[in-house]
Amino acid sequence: MRRPAAGRKDRDKFVSGKTKQNAVKSRVLTDAEGRMLFCSPVRPGSCADITQARQLGMVQRLAGGPLMEILADAGYQGMGAQTGGQVVTPPHCKFKKNAPAWYEERHEQQRKVHSSRRIRVEHGIAHLKN
C-alpha cells in the first residue's frame, strides 16, 4: 500500500509491526476447498489480527452461531477459548528454554498437522492476493 506523503497527518496509521512496513489488513474466511466466503473491509495494518477480529464482532458471531471449526494462524491464539473451541490455532509452545525432547517432537508434529490442514486456506488467500 502506498503511504501518505511525509508530513501528512495519519501517515503512521498504515505502518505495521516490527519492520514498520506500510500495510492494510482484512479478514478472509474460506471454505475447506479454499473458496472465499467472506472478506472484511480493509483496515490499517497497525493493529493485531485478534484485535481486528474482535472489532468486527467475529467472537460474538462464532460464540452464538452454528458449530463450525475455523483453522486460524497464530495471530488468533487465545480466540478458541472465547468461542468455545471453534477457532483452532497452532499449538502454543509452553517452554521458552530447555524443553524436553519428547515435548519438542510432539509440538512439531502438532504444528505440521495444523499446517497441512490449513494449507487450503492459505491457497485461497494467495489466490485473492494474486
Tell me which H or E stretch contains 21: strand 21-22
**How many angstroms from the chain centroid is the CA of residue 119?**
13
Q: Show pLDDT as tens, one digit a residue, over the chain (130 residues).
A: 566 676 777 766 666 556 566 677 888 888 888 888 888 888 877 778 888 888 888 888 888 777 888 889 888 888 888 888 888 899 887 777 888 888 888 988 999 999 999 998 888 888 888 8
| Contacts for 107-116: CB closer than 8 Å, 24+ residues apart | 114/71, 114/88, 114/89, 114/90, 115/90
pLDDT in the model for residue 15:
63
Q: Given the C-alpha cell 494449507, which residue does it identify?
A: 119
Q: List the grid coordinates of 31.
A: 471454505
Among 52, 44, 46, 53, CA closest to 17? 46
pLDDT in the model for residue 113:
93
Using a 10 angstrom Cβ sphere, with 0-12 exposed, 13-18 middle and 19 or more buried, the burial of residue 40 is: middle
pTM of the model: 0.70
Query: For the chain, which residues make up each domain, given as ranges?
Result: 1-47
pLDDT in the model for residue 119:
92
Helices assigned H by DSSP within 36-93: 49-55, 58-64, 79-82
